[in-house]
Structure 1
Amino acid sequence: MCDILVIEDNPVNMELTVDLLESYGYKVTPAEDGFIALDKVKEKKFNLILLDIQLPKMDGLEVLSRLKEDEATKDIPVIALTAHSMRGDDERFIAAGCIDYISKPIDIHSFKEKIRYHLETSN
Protein backbone atom coordinates (compact mmCIF):
# COMPACT_ATOMS: atom_id res chain seq x y z
CA MET A 1 0.00 0.00 0.00
CA CYS A 2 1.24 3.48 -0.85
CA ASP A 3 1.74 5.98 1.95
CA ILE A 4 1.04 9.62 1.11
CA LEU A 5 1.81 12.62 3.32
CA VAL A 6 -0.59 15.54 2.84
CA ILE A 7 0.66 18.89 4.12
CA GLU A 8 -2.31 21.28 4.18
CA ASP A 9 -3.33 23.91 6.75
CA ASN A 10 -6.94 24.41 5.61
CA PRO A 11 -9.16 21.84 7.40
CA VAL A 12 -11.72 21.68 4.56
CA ASN A 13 -9.04 21.14 1.91
CA MET A 14 -7.31 18.59 4.13
CA GLU A 15 -10.51 16.62 4.65
CA LEU A 16 -11.32 16.60 0.94
CA THR A 17 -7.80 15.55 -0.06
CA VAL A 18 -7.56 12.82 2.59
CA ASP A 19 -11.05 11.49 1.76
CA LEU A 20 -10.24 11.34 -1.95
CA LEU A 21 -6.91 9.60 -1.45
CA GLU A 22 -8.36 7.10 1.02
CA SER A 23 -11.23 6.36 -1.38
CA TYR A 24 -8.57 5.46 -3.98
CA GLY A 25 -7.07 2.98 -1.50
CA TYR A 26 -4.04 4.95 -0.30
CA LYS A 27 -2.85 5.28 3.28
CA VAL A 28 -2.74 8.98 4.19
CA THR A 29 -0.93 10.87 6.93
CA PRO A 30 -2.02 14.50 7.46
CA ALA A 31 0.25 17.34 8.58
CA GLU A 32 -1.15 20.82 9.28
CA ASP A 33 2.14 22.69 8.84
CA GLY A 34 5.70 22.28 7.68
CA PHE A 35 7.19 21.59 11.09
CA ILE A 36 4.77 18.73 11.70
CA ALA A 37 5.47 17.40 8.19
CA LEU A 38 9.24 17.42 8.73
CA ASP A 39 8.73 15.45 11.96
CA LYS A 40 6.47 12.93 10.17
CA VAL A 41 9.04 12.19 7.45
CA LYS A 42 11.55 11.28 10.17
CA GLU A 43 9.11 8.72 11.58
CA LYS A 44 7.96 7.04 8.39
CA LYS A 45 8.82 6.50 4.71
CA PHE A 46 6.33 8.05 2.28
CA ASN A 47 5.82 7.20 -1.38
CA LEU A 48 4.52 10.68 -2.21
CA ILE A 49 4.04 14.08 -0.59
CA LEU A 50 1.28 16.56 -1.48
CA LEU A 51 2.47 19.97 -0.33
CA ASP A 52 0.38 23.11 0.04
CA ILE A 53 2.61 26.04 -0.85
CA GLN A 54 0.92 28.63 1.39
CA LEU A 55 1.41 27.31 4.91
CA PRO A 56 1.60 29.07 8.27
CA LYS A 57 4.92 29.23 10.16
CA MET A 58 7.01 27.84 7.28
CA ASP A 59 5.90 28.15 3.65
CA GLY A 60 5.77 25.18 1.33
CA LEU A 61 8.85 26.13 -0.65
CA GLU A 62 10.89 26.18 2.57
CA VAL A 63 9.49 22.74 3.49
CA LEU A 64 10.40 21.52 0.00
CA SER A 65 13.91 22.91 0.32
CA ARG A 66 14.43 21.12 3.64
CA LEU A 67 13.08 17.85 2.22
CA LYS A 68 15.41 18.05 -0.79
CA GLU A 69 18.47 18.90 1.35
CA ASP A 70 18.01 15.83 3.57
CA GLU A 71 19.51 12.55 2.27
CA ALA A 72 16.68 10.58 3.90
CA THR A 73 13.91 12.52 2.15
CA LYS A 74 15.42 14.04 -1.00
CA ASP A 75 14.07 11.31 -3.29
CA ILE A 76 10.45 11.40 -2.10
CA PRO A 77 8.37 12.83 -4.96
CA VAL A 78 6.56 16.04 -4.00
CA ILE A 79 3.53 17.51 -5.77
CA ALA A 80 2.68 21.17 -5.11
CA LEU A 81 -0.93 21.52 -4.04
CA THR A 82 -1.93 25.15 -4.09
CA ALA A 83 -4.47 27.82 -4.89
CA HIS A 84 -1.72 29.77 -6.63
CA SER A 85 -2.72 29.61 -10.24
CA MET A 86 -0.75 32.46 -11.72
CA ARG A 87 1.10 31.96 -14.98
CA GLY A 88 4.56 30.55 -14.34
CA ASP A 89 3.80 29.12 -10.90
CA ASP A 90 3.91 25.54 -12.15
CA GLU A 91 7.37 26.08 -13.66
CA ARG A 92 8.55 27.76 -10.45
CA PHE A 93 7.39 24.83 -8.29
CA ILE A 94 8.94 22.29 -10.68
CA ALA A 95 12.21 24.24 -10.69
CA ALA A 96 12.17 24.20 -6.86
CA GLY A 97 11.98 20.40 -6.86
CA CYS A 98 8.32 19.39 -7.21
CA ILE A 99 7.47 16.70 -9.76
CA ASP A 100 4.09 18.24 -10.56
CA TYR A 101 1.53 20.85 -9.62
CA ILE A 102 -2.15 20.48 -8.70
CA SER A 103 -4.22 23.64 -8.40
CA LYS A 104 -7.07 24.09 -5.96
CA PRO A 105 -9.94 23.64 -6.09
CA ILE A 106 -9.01 20.08 -6.98
CA ASP A 107 -10.41 18.57 -10.17
CA ILE A 108 -11.16 15.12 -8.77
CA HIS A 109 -10.92 13.37 -12.14
CA SER A 110 -7.45 14.60 -13.10
CA PHE A 111 -6.34 14.41 -9.43
CA LYS A 112 -6.80 10.63 -9.28
CA GLU A 113 -4.92 10.12 -12.54
CA LYS A 114 -2.02 12.39 -11.53
CA ILE A 115 -1.60 10.63 -8.20
CA ARG A 116 -1.72 7.18 -9.80
CA TYR A 117 0.70 8.21 -12.54
CA HIS A 118 3.28 9.66 -10.16
CA LEU A 119 3.11 6.72 -7.77
CA GLU A 120 3.63 4.30 -10.66
CA THR A 121 6.50 6.21 -12.25
CA SER A 122 8.35 7.03 -9.03
CA ASN A 123 8.36 3.55 -7.47
Structure 2
Amino acid sequence: MIKNTILLVEDEPKTGEMLKQALESEGIEVIWAKEGKSALDKMEKGKFDIIILDIKLPEISGVEVLEGIRSVDRYVEVMVYSNYQEAAVMKKLINIGIDGYITKGADADLWHTVEQVKARLN
Protein backbone atom coordinates (compact mmCIF):
# COMPACT_ATOMS: atom_id res chain seq x y z
CA MET A 1 0.00 0.00 0.00
CA ILE A 2 1.34 3.42 -0.96
CA LYS A 3 1.48 5.88 1.90
CA ASN A 4 0.11 9.36 1.20
CA THR A 5 2.42 12.23 2.04
CA ILE A 6 1.36 15.66 3.26
CA LEU A 7 3.43 18.79 3.63
CA LEU A 8 2.29 20.60 6.77
CA VAL A 9 3.33 24.27 6.88
CA GLU A 10 2.66 25.48 10.43
CA ASP A 11 4.82 27.63 12.70
CA GLU A 12 2.93 27.09 15.97
CA PRO A 13 4.57 24.09 17.72
CA LYS A 14 1.49 22.92 19.64
CA THR A 15 -0.86 23.14 16.66
CA GLY A 16 1.65 21.56 14.31
CA GLU A 17 2.41 18.66 16.63
CA MET A 18 -1.28 17.94 17.28
CA LEU A 19 -2.13 17.95 13.58
CA LYS A 20 0.95 15.89 12.68
CA GLN A 21 0.13 13.23 15.28
CA ALA A 22 -3.53 13.10 14.27
CA LEU A 23 -2.70 12.61 10.59
CA GLU A 24 0.03 10.06 11.31
CA SER A 25 -2.40 8.07 13.46
CA GLU A 26 -4.44 7.66 10.26
CA GLY A 27 -1.44 6.26 8.37
CA ILE A 28 -0.55 9.48 6.55
CA GLU A 29 3.09 10.50 6.29
CA VAL A 30 3.56 14.12 7.41
CA ILE A 31 6.54 16.29 6.54
CA TRP A 32 6.41 19.37 8.77
CA ALA A 33 7.87 22.72 7.74
CA LYS A 34 7.82 25.31 10.52
CA GLU A 35 8.38 28.30 8.25
CA GLY A 36 7.84 29.29 4.62
CA LYS A 37 11.38 29.00 3.26
CA SER A 38 11.65 25.48 4.65
CA ALA A 39 8.33 24.60 2.99
CA LEU A 40 9.57 25.81 -0.38
CA ASP A 41 12.82 23.84 0.02
CA LYS A 42 10.81 20.71 0.79
CA MET A 43 8.59 21.35 -2.27
CA GLU A 44 11.67 21.46 -4.49
CA LYS A 45 12.91 18.12 -3.12
CA GLY A 46 9.74 16.08 -2.71
CA LYS A 47 6.32 15.22 -4.06
CA PHE A 48 3.26 15.72 -1.87
CA ASP A 49 -0.35 14.64 -2.21
CA ILE A 50 -1.71 17.60 -0.23
CA ILE A 51 -0.23 20.69 1.37
CA ILE A 52 -1.78 22.12 4.54
CA LEU A 53 -0.72 25.76 4.71
CA ASP A 54 -0.97 28.32 7.50
CA ILE A 55 -1.09 31.93 6.30
CA LYS A 56 0.65 33.76 9.14
CA LEU A 57 4.23 32.52 9.03
CA PRO A 58 7.59 33.99 10.06
CA GLU A 59 9.95 35.35 7.40
CA ILE A 60 7.66 35.00 4.38
CA SER A 61 3.87 34.95 4.32
CA GLY A 62 1.64 32.05 3.44
CA VAL A 63 0.61 33.96 0.31
CA GLU A 64 4.25 34.06 -0.82
CA VAL A 65 4.62 30.37 0.03
CA LEU A 66 1.52 29.57 -2.04
CA GLU A 67 2.96 31.50 -4.99
CA GLY A 68 6.17 29.47 -4.65
CA ILE A 69 4.23 26.21 -4.42
CA ARG A 70 2.28 27.03 -7.56
CA SER A 71 5.49 27.84 -9.44
CA VAL A 72 6.74 24.31 -8.65
CA ASP A 73 3.46 22.37 -8.88
CA ARG A 74 0.27 23.89 -10.28
CA TYR A 75 -1.83 20.83 -9.47
CA VAL A 76 -0.99 19.78 -5.90
CA GLU A 77 -3.94 20.30 -3.57
CA VAL A 78 -3.40 23.14 -1.11
CA MET A 79 -5.67 23.52 1.88
CA VAL A 80 -5.29 26.67 3.93
CA TYR A 81 -5.44 25.98 7.68
CA SER A 82 -5.71 29.32 9.48
CA ASN A 83 -7.78 31.78 11.47
CA TYR A 84 -6.76 34.58 9.15
CA GLN A 85 -9.71 35.75 7.06
CA GLU A 86 -8.93 39.24 5.76
CA ALA A 87 -10.95 39.67 2.55
CA ALA A 88 -8.12 41.00 0.36
CA VAL A 89 -5.80 38.16 1.40
CA MET A 90 -8.50 35.54 0.89
CA LYS A 91 -9.19 36.89 -2.60
CA LYS A 92 -5.49 36.70 -3.43
CA LEU A 93 -5.27 33.10 -2.15
CA ILE A 94 -8.25 32.09 -4.26
CA ASN A 95 -6.76 33.77 -7.34
CA ILE A 96 -3.41 32.02 -6.85
CA GLY A 97 -5.20 28.73 -6.31
CA ILE A 98 -6.27 27.02 -3.10
CA ASP A 99 -8.44 23.93 -2.90
CA GLY A 100 -9.98 24.51 0.51
CA TYR A 101 -9.96 26.56 3.68
CA ILE A 102 -10.14 25.07 7.16
CA THR A 103 -10.50 27.30 10.21
CA LYS A 104 -8.02 26.58 12.99
CA GLY A 105 -9.65 25.97 16.30
CA ALA A 106 -10.74 23.40 18.82
CA ASP A 107 -10.12 19.66 18.79
CA ALA A 108 -13.37 19.09 16.88
CA ASP A 109 -11.95 21.25 14.08
CA LEU A 110 -8.74 19.23 14.20
CA TRP A 111 -10.60 15.98 13.59
CA HIS A 112 -12.71 17.68 10.93
CA THR A 113 -9.43 18.66 9.25
CA VAL A 114 -8.16 15.08 9.41
CA GLU A 115 -11.42 13.80 7.89
CA GLN A 116 -11.26 16.38 5.08
CA VAL A 117 -7.68 15.43 4.28
CA LYS A 118 -8.53 11.71 4.26
CA ALA A 119 -11.49 12.33 1.95
CA ARG A 120 -9.30 14.25 -0.50
CA LEU A 121 -6.68 11.50 -0.48
CA ASN A 122 -9.23 8.81 -1.39
> Structure 1 residue 109: deviation in Å?
3.5
Distance 1:115 1:88, change over 3 A: farther
Quote the residue 1:83 is aligned against: 83
Equivalent-residue separation in structure 1 for 2:65 and 2:34 (angstroms)? 12
Question: Which residue of structure 1 aligns with residue 70 of structure 2?
Answer: 68
Q: Deviation of residue 111 (structure 1)? A: 1.4
Gaps of 5+ in 1: none
Percent identity, please: 32
Q: How many residues align?
A: 118
Question: What are the residue-to-residue correspondences of 1:1-123 with 2, within 5 Å?
Answer: 1-70=3-72, 73-85=73-85, 93-105=93-105, 107-120=109-122
Alpha-carbon offset, residue 42 of structure 1: 1.5
How far does residue 74 in structure 1 lie from its aligned partner after superposition? 1.9
8 Å contact kept, 1:78–1:100 = yes
SS at match of 2:81: strand
Q: TM-score normalized by structure 1?
A: 0.85
RMSD, aligned α-carbons:
1.9
CA distance in 2, matches of 1:89, 1:65: 13
Q: Which moved more, 1:80-89 or 1:25-34?
A: 80-89
Unaligned runs of 5+ in 2: none
Distance 1:65 1:89, change over 3 A: closer
- Return the alpha-carbon distance in structure 2 between the equivalents of residues 116 and 91 of structure 1: 26
Q: Do 1:50 and 1:80's aligned partners in 2 also have CA atoms closer than 8 Å?
A: yes
TM-score by length of 2: 0.86
**Cα deviations across residues 82-116 of structure 1 (Å, max 9, x unaligned)?**
02246787665333311000111151332122102
Moved more, 10-19 or 92-101: 92-101
The residue matched to 1:5 in structure 2 has which SS?
Answer: strand
